[in-house]
Amino acid sequence: NDLFSRGEPHDPTGVELASLEELYGLMADGEPPGPGVGRFVPGEGPAGAPILFVGEQPGDQEDVQGKPFVGPAGQLLDRALSDAGVPRGEAYVTNAVKRFHFTQRGKRRIHEKPSTSEIRKERWWLEKEIRLVGPRVVVALGATAVLALAGKPLPVTKARGPIRWPDERDGYVTVHPSYLLRLQDAGERRVAYEAFVGDLQRIGELAR
């Protein structure tokens, strides 16, 4: 189940990628949207941002707007960053998989988890993206990002906290903001939110 042990996907471009624009341009050309697959949503934020957040994949709103973390989960992340005292300008946000995967039910589009093979296919690109942004800390938000960055599944509850990724970069594992949105009990949600803000404070310190 180790994404690394099955060998590195070879460079699908054959060219040296000099910028994020170039990287995203090539990625967007790669696999066109189709039934159940949305448009290409690039990462967003200042190149050179000290913190890079990796989510799972764009959601419905992200697919509509073409920007990562603009829907409910993104709004929660923004609020938590603000509560943690981490300036939004210090954060670059992106996703392990760059297209929304869904099942159409009438007018509704139901989120589908990206498959391991989709995550694996995009790993090469994610690594390039991280190198081009050049953050001090790479944060996995939830299990899909952990799988993409660690190359193997790790339980988020056990891995939560600082981590060193296989590429030797400093990292941090925390929950996905969608997890907080799914908690039904208000008290439970408040406690989980405080813990999330605590993680973001530690991430802010690591990035300084």
Smallest separation, CB 164 to ligand URA (Å): 23
Q: Which is nearer to ligand URA, 50 or 177 (CB)?
A: 177
Q: Which of 24, 40, 69, 196 binds ligand URA (CB under 6 A)?
A: 69
Contact set for ligand URA, span 155-184 (CB under 6 A): 178
Residue-wise over 29-65: b if at least 16 C-beta within 10 A, else e?
Answer: eeeeeeeebbebbbbbbeeebbbbbbbbbbbbbbbee
Q: 196, 175 in Cβ contact below 8 A?
A: yes
Q: Which of 38, 49, 56, 169 binds ligand URA (CB under 6 A)?
A: 56
| 63 is a site residue for ligand URA (CB under 6 A) | no
Which residue sits closest to ligand URA, CB atoms considered?
55
| 71 is a site residue for ligand URA (CB under 6 A) | yes
Q: Which is nearer to ligand URA, 12 or 33 (CB)?
A: 33
* Residue range at the interface with ligand URA (CB under 6 A); choices 20-28, 71-79, 161-169, 200-208: 71-79
Smallest separation, CB 50 to ligand URA (Å): 20
Q: Alpha-carbon distance 146 to 112, whole Å?
A: 17
| 45 is a site residue for ligand URA (CB under 6 A) | no
| 59 is a site residue for ligand URA (CB under 6 A) | yes
Q: Which of 38, 58, 114, 151 binds ligand URA (CB under 6 A)?
A: 58
Residue of 113, 53, 90 lying closest to 207 (CA atoms): 90
| 114 is a site residue for ligand URA (CB under 6 A) | no
Q: Which is nearer to ligand URA, 94 or 207 (CB)?
A: 94
| 68 is a site residue for ligand URA (CB under 6 A) | yes
Q: How many other CB atoms are found less than 10 A from the CB of residue 169?
A: 18
| 42 is a site residue for ligand URA (CB under 6 A) | no
* Residue range at the interface with ligand URA (CB under 6 A); choices 4-12, 25-33, 56-64, 101-109: 56-64
Q: Alpha-carbon distance 79 to 73, whole Å?
A: 10
